[in-house]
């Protein structure tokens, strides 16, 4: 085995955000963005360590403890989302560094990276989101992470009409451990995105030694995920186990260590291809919405995203999901509103969809990945600023004929 540096192109280079920052000078300055989430570690230096008027995070509220302190040093979800939007940090590639963030009235953009799967658009959270969209507020909501669960898996409040349902593409470059497994005939590049608080800087290549590699699929076919105690002795060997199951990665590692393994490789059934800028995330859900509207709307980069995390949990984390894609798109909306603050929510949604680039699942014959998976495609921020909004979300459900027949 040997370790090295990751491959791919920078996150913002894929979507054109760098060009927007540099060419147009847009940072979201003057745009008010509200984030509804688990709270934020506003003491993080990447978030400038301040909460209050005139600060990056100007105001917050804790609806659980019913006070005006949104501090979060436990869950980390909201801190990660906020970092994608606003972190002033060289490690994190952010979207709208000049916007003002908080939870307050008269927000122009609201990001909702929480939701509930398998619910209809009349669910209370969806109903509330639609109410504000109809009053001109741009609302971006995570579509959910049930990509392996089949069709009609868009959650609330993403399923609400007018809300921008954010699907996810994987970033083509991310901070991770990268090593090569060299066999007699084949060489396999392996990427591992570590948990929060682990520094992933690599410099060149380091020989890690030679170990025999065995697979749980061959050793114990009924325990391929190593969620059960491993009966076979693995002394001095590296064991490959399948991701998932009814246990955590730590449980898998404990079971392998108890069997004497030198290391564990957790493998997935999703491949990473060198040379592709971004691919739809396998966890990103399939539409349509339960009432047959075409959802999701547009995708952002949500797979393998490095962002801020509570200082008590390491300060940074690489996480995946549509919860990360939503703030990416919300940040793009803030940049657009800085340029033209008169636009209403529906015009912003259509502009983002019109400028997106759909992913070709089969480039050789120009076969597009289904719109039920990627919506209009990956949001290309560089194109959104000179595109006329003309498209409208489709629907299979024709309300003119709804309930016509008994």
What pLDDT score was predicted for residue 81?
Answer: 95
* Cα dihedral 158, 309, 7, 270 sign: negative
Query: Please, which pLDDT band fits residue 219 given cuts at 50, 70 and 90?
Result: very high
Report d(CA 195, CA 313) in Å as an integer: 10
**Given the residues 37, 225, 346, 383, the one annotated as active site:** 37
62 classed as catalytic: no
Q: Does 120 have pLDDT greater than 70?
A: yes
Q: What is the mean pLDDT of residues 118-147?
A: 91
Burial 205-235 (b: 16+ CB within 10 A, else e): eeeeeeeebebbeebeeebbbbbeebeeebe
Q: Does 370 have pLDDT greater than 80?
A: yes
Q: Does 186 have pLDDT greater than 80?
A: no
For Cα atoms 361, 364, 365, give the angle at the middle one, nearest 5 degrees: 80
Quote the percentage of the chain above a pLDDT of 70. Answer: 77
DSSP-H helix ranges across 149-230: 216-219
Q: What is the mean pLDDT of residues 130-153?
A: 93
Report d(CA 297, CA 164) in Å as an integer: 6
73 classed as catalytic: no
Q: Does 6 have pLDDT greater than 50?
A: no
**Mean of per-residue pLDDT scores for the chain:** 82
Q: What is the mean pLDDT of residues 166-175?
A: 83
Sorted by where each starts, the structural domains of the chain and their CATH numbers stand as 2-172+274-386 (3.40.50.200), 212-261 (no CATH)
Q: Does 276 have pLDDT greater than 80?
A: no
The lowest-confidence range among 142-151, 313-322, 327-336, 392-401 is 392-401
- Which residue from 369, 405, 200 is spatially nearest to 296, judged by alpha carbons? 369
The lowest-confidence range among 49-63, 142-156, 166-180, 383-397 is 383-397
Query: Please, which pLDDT band fits residue 8 given cuts at 50, 70 and 90?
Result: very low
Q: Does 128 have pLDDT greater than 90?
A: yes
Query: Please, which pLDDT band fits residue 364 given cuts at 50, 70 and 90?
Result: low
What pLDDT score was predicted for residue 183?
Answer: 63
Q: Does 323 have pLDDT greater than 60?
A: yes
**Given the residues 323, 346, 355, 383, the one annotated as active site:** 323
The lowest-confidence range among 20-34, 117-131, 187-201 is 187-201
What pLDDT score was predicted for residue 102?
Answer: 79
341 close to 108: Cβ distance less than 8 angstroms:
yes
**Given the residues 12, 21, 77, 80, the one annotated as active site:** 77
Q: Please state the φ and ψ torsions of residue 286, each to the nearest 5 degrees.
A: -95, 140
- Which residue from 120, 247, 126, 266 is spatially nearest to 191, judged by alpha carbons? 266
What pLDDT score was predicted for residue 365?
Answer: 63
Could you count the other beta carbons within 10 Å of the beta carbon of residue 406?
A: 3
- Which residue from 144, 89, 140 is spatially nearest to 317, judged by alpha carbons? 89
Q: Does 2 have pLDDT greater than 50?
A: no
77 classed as catalytic: yes
7 close to 277: Cβ distance less than 8 angstroms:
no
């Amino acid at each position: 085995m040997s370790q090295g540096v990751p491959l791919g192109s920078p996150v913002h280079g894929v979507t054109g955000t760098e060009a927007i920052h540099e060419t147009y000078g847009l940072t979201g300055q003057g745009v008010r963005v509200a984030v509804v989430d688990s709270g934020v570690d506003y003491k993080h230096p990447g978030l400038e360590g301040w909460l209050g008027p005139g600060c990056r995070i100007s105001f917050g509220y804790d609806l659980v403890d019913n006070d005006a302190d949104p501090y979060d040093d436990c869950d980390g979800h909201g801190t990660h989302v906020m970092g994608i939007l606003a972190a002033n940090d060289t490690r994190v590639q952010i979207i709208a560094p000049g916007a003002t963030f908080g939870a307050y009235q008269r927000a122009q953009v609201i990001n909702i990276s929480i939701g509930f799967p398998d619910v209809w658009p009349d669910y209370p959270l969806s109903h509330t989101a639609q109410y504000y969209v109809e009053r001109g507020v741009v609302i971006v909501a995570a579509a959910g992470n049930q990509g392996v669960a089949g069709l009609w898996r868009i959650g609330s409040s993403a399923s609400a009409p007018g809300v921008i349902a954010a699907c996810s593409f994987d970033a083509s470059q991310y901070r991770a451990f990268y090593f090569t497994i060299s066999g007699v005939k084949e060489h396999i590049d392996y990427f591992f995105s570590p948990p929060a608080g682990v520094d992933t800087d690599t410099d060149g290549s380091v020989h890690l030694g030679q170990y025999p590699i065995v697979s749980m699929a061959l050793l114990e076919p009924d325990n391929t995920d190593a969620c059960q105690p491993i009966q076979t002795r693995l002394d001095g060997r590296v064991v490959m186990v399948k991701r998932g199951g009814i246990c955590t990665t730590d449980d898998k590692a404990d079971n392998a260590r108890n069997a004497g393994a030198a290391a564990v490789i957790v493998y997935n059934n999703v491949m990473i291809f060198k040379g592709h800028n971004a691919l739809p995330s396998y966890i990103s859900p399939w539409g349509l919405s339960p009432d047959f509207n075409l959802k999701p709307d547009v995708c952002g980069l949500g797979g393998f995203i490095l962002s801020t995390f509570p200082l008590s949990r390491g300060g940074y984390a690489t996480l995946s999901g549509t919860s990360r894609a939503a703030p990416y798109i919300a940040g793009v909306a803030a940049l657009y509103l800085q340029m033209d603050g008169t636009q209403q929510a529906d015009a912003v949604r259509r502009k983002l969809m019109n400028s997106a680039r759909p992913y070709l699942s089969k480039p050789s014959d120009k076969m597009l990945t289904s719109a039920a998976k990627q919506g209009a495609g990956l949001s290309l921020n560089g194109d959104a600023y000179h595109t006329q909004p003309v498209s409208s979300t489709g629907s299979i459900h024709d309300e003119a004929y709804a309930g016509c027949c008994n």
